[in-house]
Amino acid sequence: MLSYRHAFHAGNHADVLKHSLLVAMLRHLNGKEKPWWYVDSHAGAGIYDLNADFARKNAEFESGIGRLWVRADLPEAVADYVALVRDLNPDGRLRLYPGSPWLASRLMRTGDQLRLFELHSTDVQLLRRTFSENRLIKAEATDGFLGLKSVLPPQPRRGLVLIDPSYEIKDDYRRVVAALKDSLVRFATGTYAVWYPLLQRPEPAQLVDKLKRLPVDSWLHASLSVRAPAADGFGMHGSGLFIVNPPWQLAATLKTLMPWLVEALGQDAGAGHVLEHVDA
């Protein structure tokens, strides 16, 4: 797990899905004056250089944010997210990509706070450097699954928690469910977003099944496949988000957004999406 660097994957199709929905959920929190906390279990480095060797190795961003960069027909939710990425690239050239913490920092207001956890020694230093001048953003070199216990419930009793490990270790699937169960005991009214990869192995589907069985009143599940699974069984062909206590209008937004993402990011006839939800 400590060897994982999100820089290899920054700006790919999974980031487009995750970050579009993240921005939409934070905008919803901003609809009320009461402060909120954003908590990120696996925060990464904060900002990624798309010209660096890590990002250029597979150039995954070219089939993700790169496809959206030149389009003029972006749906509102995607346009909002892309506008924030453009803020990081004011000359119009796509060179830097923001991680989830940076996007959250751009939407936070006076009184809102960020709590970030990252175990990779290099990435946590980059994260701290990025936010060194903001005392309301705290980054800790801590196992995010354990870190959640230290910050929940947040003081304002409003917040969004993103749980998105790399899943390079199979035990991450079990720990996600355990962490979410514990977090809901501590902060039952919070919004939780669990990201996961679509792979040709049973664990992702089993994870979603377990999350659906949690004793919660409302949830939303959205997944995006950009291609058919590879013949050799390797590689991520899509990703998904399972959201507990989602904003009430998010499902309606995704009814049109998900088909658009399939069209915009799909790589072959195997592209598609799943959208399902249970309301309180």
pLDDT in tens, 140-171: 999 999 999 999 999 999 999 999 999 999 99
Give the whole-angstrom CA distance, residue 88 versus residue 103: 10
Condensed to tens digits (0 to 9), the pLDDT of residues 26-69 reads 999 999 999 999 999 999 999 999 988 766 677 899 999 999 99
Task: Tell me if 42 sits within 8 A of 165, measured CB to CB.
Answer: yes
Angle between helices 171-186 and 203-212 (to 10 degrees): 20
Location of structure tokens 């399902």: 276
pLDDT at 52: 83
In three-state secondary structure terms, 46 is coil
Give the whole-angstrom CA distance, residue 275 versus residue 255: 8
Beta bridge partners of 273: 224
Give the whole-angstrom CA distance, residue 180 versus residue 190: 11
> pTM (2 decimals)?
0.95
Query: Residue 4: is its pLDDT beyond 70?
Result: no
Please tell me the total count of domains within the chain.
Answer: 1
Q: Which of 90, 92, 108 is nearest to 39 (CA)?
A: 108
In a domain, 1, yes or no: no
Beta bridge partners of 225: 238, 272
- Residue 5 confidence class, pLDDT cut points 50, 70, 90: low
Mean pLDDT of the chain, nearest integer? 94
Average of pLDDT values for 174-201?
Answer: 97
By percentage, how much of the chain surpasses pLDDT 90? 90
Average of pLDDT values for 3-28?
Answer: 89
Token pair listed for 14: 């999974």
pLDDT at 94: 97
Kindly write down the DSSP assignment for every residue of 52-64, as one continuous string.
SHHHHHH-GGGGT
Task: Tell me if 247 sits within 8 A of 190, measured CB to CB.
Answer: no
pLDDT at 57: 73
Residue 142: domain span: 6-278
Cα separations in angstroms, 68 against 144, 174, 251 = 31, 34, 22
Query: Residue 6: is its pLDDT beyond 80?
Result: no
In a domain, 246, yes or no: yes
Active site residue 164: yes
In a domain, 245, yes or no: yes
In a domain, 32, yes or no: yes
Give the whole-angstrom CA distance, residue 145 versus residue 83: 31
**Catalytic member of 40, 123, 164, 172:** 164
Query: Residue 202: is its pLDDT beyond 90?
Result: yes
Task: Tell me if 74 sits within 8 A of 82, measured CB to CB.
Answer: yes
Give the whole-angstrom CA distance, residue 240 versus residue 197: 6
Task: Tell me if 6 sits within 8 A of 52, measured CB to CB.
Answer: no
Average of pLDDT values for 266-278?
Answer: 97
- Residue 2 confidence class, pLDDT cut points 50, 70, 90: very low
Task: Tell me if 167 sits within 8 A of 196, measured CB to CB.
Answer: yes
CATH code for the domain in which residue 218 is found: 3.40.50.150
pLDDT at 233: 78
In a domain, 234, yes or no: yes
